[in-house]
Amino acid sequence: MVSSDLSIMTLLTEASLLVQLVMLLLLLISVLSWTVIFNKWKSLSRARRTTASFEDRFWSGGDLNRLYEQVSSNGESSGMERIFVAGFKEFVRLRKQADAEPMAVIEGAQRMMRVKLNREADAMEDNLQFLATVGSTSPYVGLFGTVWGIMNSFHALGNVQQATLAMVAPGIAEALIATAMGLFAAIPAVVAYNRFRTDTERLVSNYDNFVDEFTSILQRQVHGDKGGAH
């Protein structure tokens, strides 16, 4: 009889209203967290692939104008490609001005690339704070449901003459489910946050190095040095 009372479905359906609300909240948070994790994993994986592919083309020694046309015509460009397009477009625009000084052209192109880099970094960091919040608060939300459930169980003992374990076991079990659900929501969020934070920092560092390297190439071009990599 006790084992039947302690079945998961029985504990969920017979839990107090507040504990049920806590469980529902944690379930919703967990679903949202996994949605963010899947979408972020997909977007960062795509960013790594497009970055590797673009770097291969960029350092292959091809013409920059042709590469610009190819990348700018691609409506699904991302990451490093967009940084390159923004910088080269500004470089060409400033270079066409008759009174443009070489350093002003370079600084303008570099500034535009930095702006685009910051936007790409912000986009990659989007929703990471949500995962951090889930990881840090979900266990406490579950603990709140646990404390409330145990408190109700022991409060009910005050109305009986003889207390037994069978009387408090269901209430304690339902309360502990809230803690388990809190951990179920928090652990994947923390793991994913740490992984995505590392991936994001690595990509941003890669983009930052590209801006410096591309700036050096543009400096050689604006000074008429044809002996560079492009």
The predicted pLDDT at position 150 comes to: 78
Query: Looking at the predicted structure, is the pLDDT value of residue 82 above 70?
Result: yes
Is residue 157 within 8 A of residue 168, CB to CB? The reply is: yes
Backbone phi and psi for residue 74, each to the nearest 5 degrees, phi listed first: -90, 110
Computed on alpha carbons and rounded to an integer, the radius of gyration of the chain in Å comes to 29
User: What number is the average pLDDT over the span 132-153?
Assistant: 86
Of 23, 211, 210, whose CA–CA distance to 110 is shortest? 211
The Cα 59–Cα 140 span in angstroms is 51
Using pLDDT thresholds of 50, 70 and 90, give the confidence band for residue 191: very high
Provide, rounded to the nearest whole percent, the portion of the chain with pLDDT above 70.
81
The predicted pLDDT at position 15 comes to: 63
Between 178 and 77, the higher pLDDT residue? 178
Indicate the pTM of the whole model.
Answer: 0.78
Q: Number of helices (H) and strands (E) in the chain: give both, helices first.
A: 8, 0
Is residue 11 within 8 A of residue 174, CB to CB? The reply is: yes
The predicted pLDDT at position 201 comes to: 94
